[in-house]
Amino acid sequence: MAANQENEIDQALILRMGQGNEEALRDFILRYQDRVYGTVAKMIGNTGPDVEDLAQQVFLRIWKAAPRHRAEAKISTWVMTVTRNLVFTFCTSRGSRREVSDVVLDEEPEELREKRGPVTERSPREDLSGKELVHAVQLACAHLPMKQRLVVHLRQHEELEFAEIGEILGISELGAKSLMFRARENLKIKLSEFFTEPS
């Protein structure tokens, strides 16, 4: 479905939510729960009750704001901006350099592996090396500064354009690209041991 059609559906749901329609809220949550939960989990580094609580706060805030909402940006941009605000507040209050839980760094769920289909046979050594690299990349991303971490998530996982990422972060498109560049440079440093030839 085209982005404009998606936004029209979202706008209609927000309008009904603004009139107190709880069924519209349930439909809206169904449309956005994976994106919101996924973003919160990636940003705060766990899959426990904090993620559940923050995600619920996102939808509660949107529900309360719906009667006053003015369509100045795409609804998806608004949702991710609300998510950003709550996550940044949470991370700041808890300390942005908290240790990241291993729960969020586990292997991908079985249903995703099934969708991807069979993979080429690998030796145990190759498999171990691959898992170590994946884990290292996830850990390195999780320890980036908050804004860099969010840019990487929005670009790589949500596949957003830099212009929309800039809107979500309240910066220019160029600023979003600059953050992504710095994030990549930081990741190169953190992961350099995996790409350095042994002497």
CA geometry: angle at 164 spanning 173 and 115, to 5°? 125
* Alpha-helical runs (H) found in 19-161: 22-44, 49-65, 75-94, 110-116, 124-142, 146-156
At 195 the pLDDT is: 60
What pLDDT, in 10s, does the model give residues 177-190? 999 999 999 888 87
Q: Is 3-194 CATH 1.10.1740.10? A: yes
Torsion of CA 154, 155, 159, 163, to 10 degrees: 90
> Between 40 and 110, whose confidence is greater?
40
Instruction: Give domain limits for the chain.
Output: 3-194
